[in-house]
Amino acid sequence: MTEIPREEYLHKCTSACAGCSDSLALRYVLKAAGPDTILVVPACCTSVIQGIYPNTAFKVPVYNVAFAAAAACASGMSAALRAMGKKTNVIVYAGDGGTVDIGIQALSGAFERGTDFLYICYDNEAYGNTGMQRSGATPVGARTTTTPAGKAQKKKDIDAIVAAHDPPYMATACAAYPKDLFSKVKKALSYRGPTFIHILSPCPPGWRFPAEKTVEMGKLAVRTGMWILYEREQGKVTINGPSKAAMVRPLPVEEYLRAQGRFRGISSEAVARMVADARALAERLKKEEEGTC
């Protein structure tokens, strides 16, 4: 299941930024999904990475749709394909803005109705495509172009919101752990009904770190406990290996924060809030995994 195929569905020389974690994640997503797949992409970095008409950098069809509409568009697509007896994978591939902010109504509607599709949110914690403005997924203390002094509010917990819809499968992932991501996409697509994968997507220009450090940044996020890899399969939580290890012996959060320009000058209060929130989430997930909550 974790043997990643050699087939590529992303051509070389896309218009992605150097070190783009979004396109790295998409590469594994498509390897797992295979050619009988349609991507639905709202306004986001991916819609730019594809290139300019008539060219496309992807070897699966991509339906680009308006920002707020991806999950609803995928609902109609999935319904029509199933009505015609087709099993084609319908995958929404949306950024954090299109998911946690403007697209949340359509996302919630599609999950509530039990749409047969996979919704992937690749999360670079800001509106990367338009030059790094804050989104609901931006963490507390992070500087963006619309929070120049650091964001005052904490990151919106989209996973808890999606979990409240009780989908058969949901998971978090990061392209720094490709086998983990690959197997999660496979697993998600094996279910009928709505499934969700939330991928942390470190963004070199937005987070202000060197382009060659993308994978390292993803690993730092997991090893410091600032991003927890887990799955929720038919309601049952499993914390995945790398995060299990990080919970036993985490790296200091400062290593993750210091490596990024967006946290320069962050207040100690903001760091304390971020750490407290991450710990609270870890405790909650541990209890859920043990079945004690």
Closer by beta carbon to another protein, 40 or else 174: 40
Strand partners, 10: 58
Closer by beta carbon to another protein, 74 or else 229: 74
CA distances from 41 to 46, 201, 277 (A): 7, 16, 31
**Residue 197, token pair as written in the block:** 């994968």
**Residue 65, token pair as written in the block:** 């749709």
Closer by beta carbon to another protein, 129 or else 138: 129
Q: How far is the CB of 88 from another protein (least distance, A)?
A: 6
| Cβ-contact 42, 70 below 8 angstroms | yes
64-68 contacts at long range (C-beta below 8 A, 24 or more positions apart): 65/40, 65/41, 66/42, 67/42, 67/43, 67/97, 67/98, 67/102, 67/103, 68/42, 68/98, 68/102, 68/103, 68/105, 68/106
Q: How far is the CB of 170 from another protein (least distance, A)?
A: 20
Residue 113: HSE in the Cβ half-sphere, 13 Å Cα cutoff: 16
Cα–Cα distance measured from residue 55 to residue 129, given in angstroms and rounded to the nearest whole number? 19
Cα–Cα distance measured from residue 18 to residue 277, given in angstroms and rounded to the nearest whole number? 31
Closer by beta carbon to another protein, 57 or else 237: 57
Closer by beta carbon to another protein, 111 or else 122: 111
Closer by beta carbon to another protein, 109 or else 261: 109
Closer by beta carbon to another protein, 71 or else 239: 71
Residues that bind another protein (CB under 8 A): 35-38, 40, 47-48, 50-56, 58-66, 68-84, 88, 105-106, 108-109, 112-113
CA distances from 26 to 21, 60, 155, 178, 262 (A): 8, 11, 23, 10, 24
Cα–Cα distance measured from residue 274 to residue 134, given in angstroms and rounded to the nearest whole number? 16
Q: How far is the CB of 263 from another protein (least distance, A)?
A: 32
Q: How far is the CB of 113 from another protein (least distance, A)?
A: 7
Cα–Cα distance measured from residue 121 to residue 98, given in angstroms and rounded to the nearest whole number? 8
Q: How far is the CB of 24 from another protein (least distance, A)?
A: 20
Closer by beta carbon to another protein, 77 or else 239: 77
Q: How far is the CB of 182 from another protein (least distance, A)?
A: 20
| Cβ-contact 40, 191 below 8 angstroms | no
**Phi first, then psi: what are they for 172, rounded to 5°?**
-110, 160
Q: How far is the CB of 57 from another protein (least distance, A)?
A: 8
Q: How far is the CB of 156 from another protein (least distance, A)?
A: 19
